[in-house]
Amino acid sequence: MNTTETALGRLGELAIEVPSWAYGNSGTRFKVFGTPGTPRSIQEKLADAAKVHELTGLAPTVALHIPWDKVDDYSALRGYAADLGVGLGTINSNTFQDDEYKYGSLTSSDAAVRRRAIDHHLECIEIMHATGSRDLKIWLADGTNYPGQDDMRGRQDRLAESLQEIYAGLGESQRLVLEYKFFEPAFYHTDVPDWGTSYAQTLALGEKAFVCLDTGHHAPGTNIEFIVMQLLRLGKLGSFDFNSRFYADDDLIVGAADPFQLFRIMHEVIRGGGFGKDSGVALMLDQCHNLEEKIPGQIRSVLNVQEMTARALLIDTDALAEAQREGDVLAANGIFNDAFYTDVRPVLAEWRESRGLPADPMTAFKASGYQKKINEDRVGGQQAGWGA
């Protein structure tokens, strides 16, 4: 075995969860463009996600958003997914689109609103038992727009209390992951704006609570890989929401805006023991495809993660440690960059073929005729989320 093969030996451990909402129509507040072939139901979203997995071998599970993906029988949905060759993954709660939550959900000063928001999460936990999901992901739109609008301290205390009740409802092998986002839809303050707040809240809950890091939820220039390192060091990194941003929460294809950042993140994931099935760190996409076709958009996304993971696995860590010990700044940086600049595409094509996968999943999808078929079959596809 040559060094590349040895280094890439762990590539088979890569699994990326895809979000059901990536297959629906989405857009900006200016326009939601419809795309031919858009799924009309969660079942059709699962079928599209299964296609991504079939062609890449990288996306074995699909995350659901409740109530966007609400069905009567979640066990049946689990069986339906299994027949397609995929599993149901993280359950994402949703307390950001009902009028009741205008001033907050888990942080609300109105006990009835808080009750409703907590009950929604307890319902999500019930769903998780039926779907076999491990993780409940909580992202809150809670926050304020104006200084003085509400008492930030009181909101934080109520958040802690609400989370405690939800946490207490978790099953033995279930986990809670709390996502942070520094702004939007609230613009003055957000109740879970940063990893520190998510860390403090989840630490207080206990060992089944973790932080979810969405790569699009940081201020420009943030050293995200430092946060990855720190959370892994503290044993509190539960999951990623991968996507790319140029300006704000753009939700563009992961690795599209800054592949070097994705490489640096994957390096810290591997370095910190966050890579692989048993690591406890779930890699997930949280993306929307406003202009491009959704299935190839998702295929490209998981391939980007695979490519940057492969490059990160190629880092000569012994040589890097040696250069770091010697204080050889340029040698260390050179070793790091050598891996990043390695074109792994040919070796990944071989890797796929050796596993019975198409060498080029993008081309294989085009040739499959699947898009043409769904364009003809599906009329009146759903918007991601709100139209669902």
Binding site for ligand PSV (CB under 6 A): 92, 139, 179, 181, 214, 241, 249, 286
Examine residue 48 and tell whether it contacts Mn ion (CB under 5 A).
Answer: no
Examine residue 307 and tell whether it contacts Mn ion (CB under 5 A).
Answer: no
Q: Cα torsion at 384, 57, 350, 304 (round to 10°)?
A: 30
Those residues with Cβ within 8 angstroms of residue 185's Cβ, 6 or more apart along the chain or in another chain = 96, 141, 143
Min dist. Cβ of residue 298 to ligand PSV (A): 15
Min dist. Cβ of residue 93 to ligand PSV (A): 8
Question: Residues 44, 54, 142, 214: which binds Mn ion (CB under 5 A)?
Answer: 214
Min dist. Cβ of residue 212 to Mn ion (A): 7
* Piece of 64-72, 98-106, 252-260, 282-290 that binds Mn ion (CB under 5 A): 282-290
- Nearer CB in complex with ligand PSV: 261/371: 261
Cα–Cα distance, 295 to 49 (Å, whole number) = 7
* Piece of 6-14, 50-58, 283-291, 363-371 that binds Mn ion (CB under 5 A): 283-291
Structure tokens belonging to residue 316: 């000569």
Min dist. Cβ of residue 10 to Mn ion (A): 26
Question: Residues 17, 142, 150, 249: which binds Mn ion (CB under 5 A)?
Answer: 249
Min dist. Cβ of residue 214 to Mn ion (A): 4
DSSP 278: G
Residues 75-114 vs Mn ion: string with x where CB under 5 A? ----------------------------------------
Short-list 341, 309, 315, CA closest to 11: 309
Cα–Cα distance, 100 to 76 (Å, whole number) = 31
What residues does 214 pair with on adjacent strands? 241
Tell me which of ligand PSV, Mn ion, none is bound by residue 48, counting a contact when its beta carbon lies within the kind-specific cut-off of 5 to 8 angstroms: none
Cα–Cα distance, 152 to 143 (Å, whole number) = 8
Decide: 354 and 384 in contact? Cβ < 8 Å.
Answer: no
DSSP 86: -
Min dist. Cβ of residue 252 to ligand PSV (A): 13
Q: Cα torsion at 213, 299, 95, 209 (round to 10°)?
A: -40
Cα–Cα distance, 351 to 25 (Å, whole number) = 33
- Nearer CB in complex with ligand PSV: 64/335: 64
- Nearer CB in complex with Mn ion: 8/159: 159
Cα–Cα distance, 343 to 155 (Å, whole number) = 49
Min dist. Cβ of residue 179 to Mn ion (A): 5
Binding-site ranges for Mn ion (CB under 5 A): 214, 241, 249, 286
